[in-house]
Structure formats: C-alpha cells, structure tokens
Amino acid sequence: MNSDLQPVMGIDLDSWQQPLLQADSPLATVEWRGWGDSRPLVVLPWQRGLRPACDAESVASPWNCGHGWRQHASVGRNAARLPVWKLWDLLGEEPVLQDNGYLMGQSTREHAYKDAKGADRQVRVRDLLQCFLAPFRDSMARRRVVMAVPNTLDEWAQEDVLAALGPQSRLLWRPIAAAMTWGAAQPAHLHKQYDGKHLAVCEVRYDCITVCKVRLKQVIREGQSYLVPVRRLPRADNCAFQPILPLPFVLAEGLLDYHAIPPTSDLVWSLALGGDAIYKLLSAKANGTSERACLLPTQRGWQHLQISPDDLPLVVGEVIHELPDTAAKEVAKLLGIQKSNDGSSWLSQVTVALKKLIHQTKPDGFLLHGAGSCLPIDDTTLGATISRQLDQAFFPAQPMLRATEAADGVPDHMVARGCVLLAQRSQLGQPTYLDQLRQLDIIVQDKDPGSATFEDIIAKQLIPDAEVDGDSTYVGDDQSGFSLNKHEQHVGFLLRMQQEERLRELKQVFKVSTDRQEELVLRPTQQPARGHARIEVHNKRLFTGGYVLLDWSRMQTTHKTLESLNRERPRSFPPDMPDVEPDPALWELFEPYVDRYLETSLLLGGKEKSLGKVLGDYFFQRCGAVRYDPNRKDSLARQNTFGSSMTDGLPPDRLKAKDYLTKLQEDYAFAQIPDNRLKLIRAIAWTYQGETFPKLRMYLVDKLQQEPGSLAQEELTACGQLFHHPDEYQAMLLAILDVFDDRDVDSVGWYANGLRKLVTYRPDALQHADSDTVRFLILRLCRLIEYEMHRPNFGNRMKDSLIALLFMLRRRRYDTEFLQYSDERVQRCADHLRQQTLFFTPRQCRTLCSDDELLARLLALLWTIREPLRRATQDANQNTSTQNRAKLMLELSLQLRSFLKSRGSLAGFVNIMRKIDDG
C-alpha cells in the first residue's frame, strides 16, 4: 500500500540551516536540505531590467549591499535587500484587529522600495517568494509539498504563496505544524490526559515572537490514538504577536564585539543584511567551517570575520544577556521596529513579552519553538533558557505541559517536521489537525413566509465558521431554495466574507431568456489554508456547462454593503417601520408618574374614585411621547416609554413596568366610570402590550363589530396599538370601512388616525386583510385627502390619511397584483389627487416641511403618481408656471424614490420643497 504513496516534502523557509525536509516514503527516510547555493536573502532589482535574485553570487555581490561608500547603498528599509523573515511581514504576518474581533494579516501584493538611483520601484511579493523557492524546485517537482506559513496569513497571501509553490502544494500554519510534531512525539497513554487542554505555541522568530493557543484533541481512528491540535481563527484571546529587535542585528553586534570591532549602524547593517555574512557565520552545520568567514569593511580596514563552533554559543549568550548597543537600536529605528528603552537585555525583553502574550491567552501549558530558539547559548539553547523562565513564571505545578524545541525530548526543526507529517498522514488517511473556516455568506433578498414578494436583503450563510478537518476540503451540502426572478437579463452574485465589510460581486449575463423563475443550487467548497472559498451555482439552463463558479479571489470588490443594498434594492413599498423601541430616558421621565399611579388606589372605601388627577395630561404626554430615534436620523426607528414589541417592549425597570401593567389590568377590570375607563384604555394603549390585556381587546373587537361608529378616540388608539391577531385586524379594517361609507368625511378623523396607527405599528396587519377591503379603504382615504386639500393648513386628518394610504400600499407585499404602479386604478386615484397635490400652497408646504414623517409619506404618494406628473410637465395646455411646478414635483418624486429605496435623508426634498415654497 505504502509503495503507491508519493514522496513528500516540508518547507520551513525561516530555517537558516535546513529549510527543507523531504521524505521518500511515509514514516521512513528523511533527508534534510540546506539553502545550497542560495541564501535566505533576496537582492531586489537595483536597476531596470533586472529580476530579484537570492543565489550566492547575487547576494555576495557588493552591489547595493549597504556598504557605506557605495552611492546607491542606503542604510534603511529600502536598501534593496530583503531577508526571508521580512517576506512574511509583506504577506501580512503581523495581525490587525478587525472590527469583529478577529486578527488577520493584511498582505501586500507588491513591495515598494528605492533602487540604486533613488527611483521608486515595486516588485511582486509572489516573485520574491518564487526567488526563495528556486533552489528547491528540482525536489519540489516530484514531491507533495507542504510549506509552513504564519498563522495570520489571509486568503490573498495564501493564494499568492500557493501560486508560487505550485497547484498541488499545501500550506500549514506554523503553530499547528509545531503542535503536530509535538503531538506525534507524545506517548499514546498521555493522549487522554492532554485531551481538551490548551497549549500556547510560542515561536521565537528572527524578528518577532508569536503565541497561538491551540486546543489538543485525542482522535482515535482504526484503533490507534492520535493527539491533534485544533486551530481557531486568530482572535485576541488565542493569538498574539510582538515584533522584536531582529536577531540577525543583535547577533551582528555580538560578532563585531567578538572581533573587537566598534559597531556602527552601517557595519551592523552590512553584516546582518548587506550580504550573506551572518548566514555564513551562523549556519555552521550545513556549510562547514571553511564557509564560516566573511569580509567586512570597517574603520580599521578590511576585516576577516570568522568564528569557531565552540565560540558561537558564547557570543550568542553574551549578546542576548547584555543590552544591545545603540547601533542595533538605530538600525531597528530605521526598520521601523518599536524598541523599548528600559535598558533590559534582549533576552529579558523577549521573556517579558512572551509572558505578557501567554498571559493574554491563558493556556494550560506552552510549547516553545522557532528558528531563534534553537540558537546555541552557553551550554544549552536559547529556547531552553527562555523556557525555564516561563516555566517558573506560569506553570510550576504542571511540568508535563512544557516543551521546548530541541530540548525536553522534543525534536528540532519542528515546523518542517510538522509539514512532512501532514503530507504523510494525509496520504495515509490519518488525522492531522482541525481548523476553523471563515464564514462566507451570500447576499440574497429574502421572502417572509406568506409573503409574495422578496423583501429584506439578508446575508445567508454558505460556509459556517465551524470546526473542520484541516486536511480535507470542506464541501457544504447543496443549498437549494435560491431562485432568480423571471425576465432578468443578468444577475450579480454578491458574497460576504466574515471579516469583510465590503462585498464581492460577480456579474453574469444570461444568453437565454429567463421567462420563468429559475431555481439555483449552491454548492460551497473550501479547504483550510488554501485560499478563498469557491461556490458553484448550478442551473443547467442558464449557465454554460451547468454551473458558474463564484471564486472570491476573482470576484470584483464592490462598494456595496449589506446596509447599502438594503437601502438601494427595490422592494414592496413602503419600507417596514421597525417596532417602537423602549427608551430608558423616556422611562426615566415617565417613572415618577408611574410611581404616583402605583401609589393611587382606584377604590377608596369601596367607592371608585376619579383617576383624572393621576392620569392627567402630563401623564399622557409622557407615556405617549413617540419620537424618532435621534441617533438614527435616516431611518424610521421610533422610541417611546414602552416598546411595541410583544416580547421585548418593556422598559429597563421591568419589575416596576410589570407592576404598572398589572395595576392597569386590575383597574381596568374594576373601573366603571366611563372617564376612568377611557383614561385607563388610553394608558393601556400606549403600553402597546396587547397580550397583557385580552379582555380589553375582546371588548374592542365586540364594539368594532357591533357598533363600529361609536368608538371613542382612546378606543381607536387602543385598537391600533394593541391588536395583533388576524381577526382583530380584519374587524378593525371592516369597521373603518363601514364608518367611511356611512359618515361624511368631516367626522372620520379619529378612524383615519386609528387606521394609521394600526398599519404603522403592526406591519403584518395587511397580510391578513382582504385586497378588496384594502383597495376600498384606499379610495375612501383618497376622498378624505381631497377634502382636506381645501384647507389652508394640513391638519392631523391629512397626515393620518396620507400615512395610512401609504402603508396600505404594503398590501403589495402579499399580493403581487395589488395596485401595481402601472395599475389603472392607482392612476385614477392619482389623477384624482393630481390637481390638488400639485398645487400645494406655500403655507401647506411649510407645514409639511416641519414634519419630516408626513413629508416622507406624502412624497411616497407622489411617487405613485409620478406618471401623471410626467404627463403634466409635457402637457402643452398647461401654463409655464404649472409645468415648472410639475417638474419640481417630478424631481421630488424621484428624490422620494431614492428615499424609499434607501431610507435616506430628507434633506434633498426638503430643499426642493423650499424651492416650491419660494416660488
């Protein structure tokens, strides 16, 4: 079986000595490879027409190496050289806190620098990576490659790295690779003990330290136990990053000191980055002693630097225990690295930083590894020294969960080994690690149950942020229920990534006609650490080949957001008015009145007393003070003492509010005096809590059915604000229709008010109404409006009628045929209104302008009649003044249209109204 398995290879570019581990058969032969004729340092093109190179000749070249006397050599970040550890920086190793709490690197596609002549240049990061990988190409061609990458690499960077590696390659998170190696080295009897424990995987790299908290999990497969790490998406509580003064610079200082050469920033730069000096001096194992020498220009002439293997630990130990010199600090400043000035040594700075980072993640133990930690120091390694200090600080009681690379029985080069382990286990079908995917949503227009039209724009989850097998590809279930409207000529697929605010779009034009609603089936796939997710959208008729692929990386970034779509996308009209929200500030004002009412007894000596003093005007001013949310001026969100939601409508002091409701309920049961009853009904109405007052609702329904014309204003208010059952809605609408038919328009004001309250507080009221009833009501309302037009000022009746009429059009949501915009009946209705509506008097307009809500509703109506308006502008029989007015009104209606789509600001049409007002 094993003979069929492919040879594997693990790459850890951060390793100076042996970046590559290859195994020709699983769990057997392993072979380490060094950099060979290359160096972990790339020379950037210093002039036009060149390519980046990292072969020994290019790196050894004095060109642009930072030697002081070269004109083009500039000490600083733009010295046209880039070490491999800086490459990860470009790919977004340093995480940035996202709005939703996740940490993610921000990769750059191109690296900008200055060339020999000071001109600005750019080089693709992918080319740089290919340059580093060039020496291993021959081996990579025949092997299954896994490369270690930082834990916070975003999908763009992952795809860049994969593009440089080749299509069959895999990426593995560095902490996971280390944890896998450690887990594989643990005896099986300890697996259960470690199961569920959290391990802080600390990595000391050349220029930073990282901590990643991973959970350990015991997986038993085919009778064999495995200890695998579980990765979560990086967050502040499981991932930490801290830049440090780069080790090559610290070591360069140490080497200069060892050779008694006074360090300057130029010299430190030359040694650390100028050429391959530091690499040659420190990569002892791979290259032998003859290579461990280099030339360096100093104030005292050319110096020949070399160091024996015996002296190296002493030098490293000395330099990390002592305070780094000012030269390294200056270089660090040029590199843009924050450096503390507390005078502590490099080692103590790193230890303190690690302690802080580990403290953030609160693990059960730690695993210390990294290229830096393997450096020899005195008679041990740097990692072991740090580990001892961490152990004393955090885990004195749990010695079993402490591990250090190349010590404590833990193998060295853990990251490269982990990569090979992944490739081998993947082929053998053994468990590797568990990962978490980034959630991916598709933006759709949703339909409520029972609704005929598509309404709110929502994000529908395609890929959950769940725990998945790190080795396998996540293939989501086929998701059906998506459809395209008929008569569409193209579609724009919009996807949203978990941490991205902006959406990505793919536009698809259909070559076939969509004369019916087309069903779509979505099939999401994603593999951990292999870039972005891909969604297949299947429909055999619409798409050539049967499906279209939504590849996040290839989709266009759009300025659209979920919110903007919600504003822009047309839907049934008008938009929902959200539930009234309870406002604590308003409750604070109302609370003294509640206290007073609670202290008052309805019955005094067995006799009912008047509630006039307690439930007076001030009381109702406080409890009925509906206002628009001042923080959300562009929306229709309202606030009051109580909220209109049945489940979440109580003020913050819920106990007192409940006491208040109970007392209202009791008092209503006992109250006999009509005035008291009305006052109580009014107070109850402004609590919106119809569920708490079933008796009252029953009473109101009875009255609506038996004596529809006898309802008092308070009772109509209660009907509008307390009803929430279909029967109740129907009873009220029919009653109002009866009243409108029976009475003259002058005496139906309160009913219009009640109707307005019902349709604005209960968005679902029209769902249960009959379309004919609603249409008749609209016609009656139009008559009322027509009547009101003759008044010099608009009163409440006009306001209530317009708003009610506007919201009655919401019936379209449930009946696609109901009063379409082009419907003749709407046209007739609009025509009927046209003359009056077009000729508002300045005074009327001023009244409207003072009331934004009314204005919005009125203009909504104008939108419905925009066609008559358009005709009016083109009507040659009309005089110029009328035409101009019609033009302005038409413009208003367009503004209105955008408002209704966007719930936008009213400023646009307020200005136009002013124009009308002025002239």
Partner 1 sequence: MERRVSLLRVLEQPWQLIRELMSDVGCPLPQTCEGGAAIALLPKGAEPMISGASAGLPRRCAPFGTRTELLSSYDLPWPTTTGETLHVQDSRGQATWDIIQHGYLARPTRSRIRSYAQVSTKPPDLALYDFLSNLVRNAQELRWTAEEQAIARESGTNAGNRALLPLPWRELPERLENSVDQPMMGLIVRVANEFSTRLFRLCEHPRRVLSRVRQKAPIGRVQQVDAACLQWLVRQPGRTASEKAGGRQRILAVEREENFDTLENRVLKDMLRRCVVLAGQWLHDNRRHHTHEKYKLVETFQRRCQRQLREPLFGAVGALQIVPSPNYVLQHDPGYRELWQWYLRIVQQEDDTDAVWPWQSRLWSETVRLYLAAAVLRLVTDDQRRLGMHHHQLWIRQRPEYGRWLADVDWPGPLIIEHRGRQVVAECLEPAGMTEKRKYLGTDLAPWVGVLGVDFAIHFSILSHHRDRQDLCLMVWGVHSSKLRTQWQEDLQVMCRDASQRLSLIQKAAVRNSVPCRFAGLMVLSDYAGTYSGIDALHCEEHEETQVHGLRAPGKPDEWGRDLMKLLREHATGLLELVR
- Should residue 36 be labelled a site residue for partner 1 when binding is judged by CB under 8 A? no
Task: Tell me whether residue 299 or residue 485 sits nearer to partner 1 (CB atom).
Answer: 299
Q: Is 208 helix (H, G, I), strand (E, B) or coil?
A: strand
- Should residue 60 be labelled a site residue for partner 1 when binding is judged by CB under 8 A? yes
- Should residue 449 be labelled a site residue for partner 1 when binding is judged by CB under 8 A? no
- Should residue 69 be labelled a site residue for partner 1 when binding is judged by CB under 8 A? yes
Instruction: Using CB under 8 A, count the residues that bind partner 1.
Output: 30
- Which positions from 218 through 277 interact with partner 1, judged by CB under 8 A? 275
Cα(59)–Cα(53) distance, integer angstroms: 8
Q: Looking at 3, 290, 489, 706, which residue binds partner 1 (CB under 8 A)?
A: 290
**How many of the other CB atoms lie within 10 Å of CB of 511?**
8
- Should residue 321 be labelled a site residue for partner 1 when binding is judged by CB under 8 A? no
**Structure tokens that stand for 237 in this block:** 């509580």
- Should residue 138 be labelled a site residue for partner 1 when binding is judged by CB under 8 A? no
Binding segment for partner 1 among 67-75, 125-133, 624-632, 758-766 (CB under 8 A)?
67-75
| Start-to-end CA span in the chain (Å) | 91
Q: Label residues 864-883 b or e (16+ Cβ within 10 Å = b).
A: bbbbbbeebbeeeebeeeeb
Cα(9)–Cα(166) distance, integer angstroms: 13
Q: Length of the chain in residues, anyone?
A: 919
Paired sense of beta strands 581-582 and 638-640, if any: parallel
In order of 666, 883, 885, 909, the CA distances from 880 in angstroms are 65, 5, 8, 22
Residue recorded with tokens 């009255």: 703
Least spacing, CB of residue 331 vs partner 1, in Å: 17
Q: Looking at 112, 188, 295, 466, which residue binds partner 1 (CB under 8 A)?
A: 295
Q: Is 580 exposed, middle or buried (0-12, 13-18, 19+ CB in 10 A)?
A: buried
Torsion, Cα of 893, 895, 897, 903 (10° steps)? -140
The DSSP 8-state label assigned to residue 638 in this structure reads: E
- Which positions from 184 through 203 interact with partner 1, judged by CB under 8 A? none
Q: Looking at 7, 34, 36, 68, which residue binds partner 1 (CB under 8 A)?
A: 68
Task: Tell me whether residue 48 or residue 790 sits nearer to partner 1 (CB atom).
Answer: 48
Binding segment for partner 1 among 287-295, 336-344, 642-650, 755-763 (CB under 8 A)?
287-295
Task: Tell me whether residue 265 or residue 381 sits nearer to partner 1 (CB atom).
Answer: 265
Helices 726-742 and 694-706 meet at what angle, rounded to 10?
A: 30
Task: Tell me whether residue 290 or residue 672 sits nearer to partner 1 (CB atom).
Answer: 290
Task: Tell me whether residue 131 or residue 696 sits nearer to partner 1 (CB atom).
Answer: 131
Q: Residue 795 phi/psi, 5° resolution?
A: -105, -170
Q: Looking at 1, 48, 396, 744, which residue binds partner 1 (CB under 8 A)?
A: 48
- Should residue 298 be labelled a site residue for partner 1 when binding is judged by CB under 8 A? yes
Q: Looking at 27, 30, 50, 334, which residue binds partner 1 (CB under 8 A)?
A: 50
Task: Tell me whether residue 117 or residue 743 sits nearer to partner 1 (CB atom).
Answer: 117
Task: Tell me whether residue 37 or residue 237 sits nearer to partner 1 (CB atom).
Answer: 37
Task: Tell me whether residue 293 or residue 400 sits nearer to partner 1 (CB atom).
Answer: 293
Look at the alpha carbons of 407, 410, 412, 414 in this order and tell me if their dihedral is positive or negative: negative
Task: Tell me whether residue 127 or residue 764 sits nearer to partner 1 (CB atom).
Answer: 127
Cα(532)–Cα(504) distance, integer angstroms: 12
- Should residue 141 be labelled a site residue for partner 1 when binding is judged by CB under 8 A? no
Q: Give the ranges where 336-453 is alpha helix by DSSP (H).
A: 346-361, 382-394, 414-428
- Should residue 771 be labelled a site residue for partner 1 when binding is judged by CB under 8 A? no
Least spacing, CB of residue 290 vs partner 1, in Å: 7
Helix (H) or strand (E) segment spanning residue 866: helix 866-874
Binding segment for partner 1 among 45-53, 249-257, 351-359, 549-557 (CB under 8 A)?
45-53
**How many of the other CB atoms lie within 10 Å of CB of 559?**
8
149 forms beta bridges with 173
Binding segment for partner 1 among 226-234, 300-308, 739-747, 841-849 (CB under 8 A)?
300-308
Torsion, Cα of 824, 829, 832, 838 (10° steps)? -100
Q: Looking at 138, 222, 300, 879, which residue binds partner 1 (CB under 8 A)?
A: 300
Q: Which of 547, 528, 690, 538 is nearest to 153 (CA)?
A: 528
- Should residue 302 be labelled a site residue for partner 1 when binding is judged by CB under 8 A? yes
Task: Tell me whether residue 24 or residue 291 sits nearer to partner 1 (CB atom).
Answer: 291
Helices 654-670 and 694-706 meet at what angle, rounded to 10?
A: 50
- Should residue 429 be labelled a site residue for partner 1 when binding is judged by CB under 8 A? no
Q: Is 635 helix (H, G, I), strand (E, B) or coil?
A: coil
- Should residue 352 be labelled a site residue for partner 1 when binding is judged by CB under 8 A? no
Peptide bond into 574 cis (omega under 30): yes
Least spacing, CB of residue 270 vs partner 1, in Å: 11
Binding segment for partner 1 among 187-195, 295-303, 683-691, 724-732 (CB under 8 A)?
295-303
- Should residue 130 be labelled a site residue for partner 1 when binding is judged by CB under 8 A? no
Q: Looking at 299, 485, 513, 662, which residue binds partner 1 (CB under 8 A)?
A: 299
Q: Which of 300, 258, 301, 299 is nearest to 278 (CA)?
A: 258
- Should residue 3 be labelled a site residue for partner 1 when binding is judged by CB under 8 A? no
Binding segment for partner 1 among 46-54, 236-244, 335-343, 818-826 (CB under 8 A)?
46-54
- Should residue 545 be labelled a site residue for partner 1 when binding is judged by CB under 8 A? no
Q: Looking at 7, 34, 36, 62, which residue binds partner 1 (CB under 8 A)?
A: 62
**Structure tokens that stand for 780 in this block:** 């009656």
Are residues 809 and 573 in contact, defined by beta-carbon separation less than 8 angstroms?
Answer: yes
Binding mask 367-406 for partner 1 (x = CB under 8 A): ----------------------------------------
State the residues that interact with partner 1 by CB under 8 A.
47-50, 56-58, 60-63, 68-72, 275, 290-291, 293-295, 297-304
